[in-house]
Amino acid sequence: MKNIIAIDRLRLKFPGRDGLLFRDLSLSIAEGEKVLLLGPSGCGKSTLLQVMAGIIPHSVDVPMKAERLERPERWGYVFQDPDAQFCMPYADEEIAFALENRSVPRQEMPARIRALLDQVGLEIIPHTDIHTLSGGMKQRLALASVLALEPDVLFLDEPTALLDEEGTKAVWQTVKQVDRGKTVVIVEHKIDHVLDFVDRIVLLGRDGRIIADGEAKAVFSDYKDVIAAEGIWYPGVWDDYDRTARRRNRHQGEELLRLSCFRGFRGREAKIYVPEATVHAGEWIAVTGKNGAGKSTLLHALMQLIHTDGEYVLLGADIKQQHPLYRHIAFVFQNPEWQFVTHSVREELAYSLRLEGRPEAEIEETIARLLREFDLVEQQDQHPYQLSIGQKRRLSVAASIVAGQRLFLLDEPTFGQDAKNTFALLEMLEAHREQGAAIMMVTHDEQIVRRFATRRWVIEDGTLVRDEQLDIREPALAEGGAGR
């Protein structure tokens, strides 16, 4: 078959970094192939994808050289961040932008826009504000506007990294439907939904060299250890995790929190209502429900970030007497960067302790312990923004819980994290739970709920509608694959 992409002896270097990212890398992709690029974060998968598309060096200036470089004429590129690939406010205008760039006559546009929206399964009126779409819908819109370019090759750069399970499924379903003989090159960390679609896997190593390149199933089974070690979400990753996980100790301690006829307001409207609920030490509560049901609002209300009424007793006293609240409740946001207030990892950990005026010796001791526990010793003098995604997440959790709070509120803390980081984070939380903290966590991931949660709260239309005790599912029982 004819090659549509061919790279011969590519050398590429990022300014300000030592050494080459790629040294004499060669790769070719035939017409109609579905290729998955796998590798650890920072190995240059996305960079390679951008070189293939020509984004490097045309739009992003990175010094590079190749003996031969064959790139497709017509291509489309879907990026990771759903909020950073649109330039127009409405869905139809965004697709029209791509059509305009190709000088498609105006009279043809409305029909084409409708056809493209149908193709990606978006059942919205074309003139819909993009801001009101969910992440999964935004990514499908991105796909529609890329398809407007009538590409021969589709480049997909972790299109579902920032999506929940539902959105991820919808996006891959759509990709499979629209492909029709196109060449597709994918970079992805969550490969459960991709594995049966691709026919070839290229595995890159930490040093930017190709470790393996071949038929998808064969590479996946031959290099499963490497894939697992790099924290990639592969099918069965949870079963493998269960085999290594240790037995959990479950006990319920004293009551930490009690709610009764509790309401949280945004503006003048009650957005969350909890008729009756209690939380005990040693509990892990998974807060689940649809997008926009009010899960985050519930956490905001508990943290008193929004106005509330009704009964709210924390640690045996009315919430109004528990000021300042951050001494008792740790809160972790979805995006860790929002929470950083200092200029180094050490300072970040020390911040809350200094605020309380703890003695310096004790602070030093606590920091040293946390750095070890959260695996941040080597990064202790770096600026928080310079950390990797996983490190940022760990730091934001460590810095939040440093004051020894009893209750942790976490808003989708595993969002966008790779498998390795997710497991590490969950283990750390689990350790704190066993020591008597209570964890309340918004999550979409049933696997986490099933393995870690002791209770589930279901939020529907701004109301806590179900509060159920979950059966303890001991990881030891999962041995031999009997777990599911």
Partner 1 sequence: MKWEVRCRETWLHETNPSLKLIVLVVLFFAVLFIHNPNVLINVSLALFVLFCFGTGYPANVLFWLFLPFFLVFVSTASSMMMFGEGTTTWVRWGLIHITAESFWRGVHIGFRALALGLLGLIFSLTTRPVHLFYSLMQQLKLKPKYAYSFLAAVRLLPIMLEEFQTIRYALKVRGVPNKGGLSKVKRYAIPLLSQSIRRAQRIAVAMEAKRFSGSGRRTFYYEIGFGKYDVLFVALFAALMFVAYYAGVHYPYISISDVR
Query: Which residues contribute to the site for partner 1 (CB under 8 A)?
Result: 53, 55, 58-60, 76-77, 79, 81, 83-90, 92-93, 96-106, 109, 129-131, 145-146, 149, 300, 303, 305, 324, 326-327, 331, 333, 335, 337-341, 351-352, 355, 385, 399-400
Torsion angle (degrees, nearest 10) of CA 448, 333, 410, 351: 130
Shortest gap between Cβ of 79 and partner 1 (angstroms)? 6
Shortest gap between Cβ of 332 and partner 1 (angstroms)? 9
Q: By C-beta, is 100 or 276 nearer to partner 1? A: 100
Shortest gap between Cβ of 347 and partner 1 (angstroms)? 12
CA angle 33, 34, 40 (to 5 degrees): 130
Contact 80, 162 (CB under 8 A): yes
Alpha-carbon span 137 to 140, nearest angstrom: 5
Alpha-carbon span 249 to 255, nearest angstrom: 18
Q: By C-beta, is 89 or 235 nearer to partner 1? A: 89
Contact 109, 62 (CB under 8 A): no
Shortest gap between Cβ of 223 and partner 1 (angstroms)? 31
Q: By C-beta, is 327 or 456 nearer to partner 1? A: 327
Token pair 């509120």 is found at 409
Shortest gap between Cβ of 183 and partner 1 (angstroms)? 16
Q: By C-beta, is 51 or 219 nearer to partner 1? A: 51
Q: By C-beta, is 46 or 417 nearer to partner 1? A: 46
* b/e per residue 173-200 (b: at least 16 CB within 10 A): ebbeebeeebbbbbbbbbbbbbeebbeb
| The two three-digit tokens of residue 347, written as one number | 């300072």
Shortest gap between Cβ of 67 and partner 1 (angstroms)? 25
Q: How far is CA 120 from CA 113, 148, 234, 438, in A?
A: 11, 11, 25, 42
Q: By C-beta, is 130 or 232 nearer to partner 1? A: 130
Q: By C-beta, is 98 or 227 nearer to partner 1? A: 98
Please choose, from the candidates 344, 333, 331, 350, the residue with its C-alpha nearest in 3D space to the C-alpha of residue 402.
Answer: 350
Q: By C-beta, is 89 or 253 nearer to partner 1? A: 89
292, β-bridge pairs: none
Please choose, from the candidates 279, 280, 276, the residue with its C-alpha nearest in 3D space to the C-alpha of residue 311.
Answer: 276
Contact 98, 146 (CB under 8 A): yes
Shortest gap between Cβ of 330 and partner 1 (angstroms)? 8
Contact 136, 170 (CB under 8 A): yes
Shortest gap between Cβ of 3 and partner 1 (angstroms)? 22
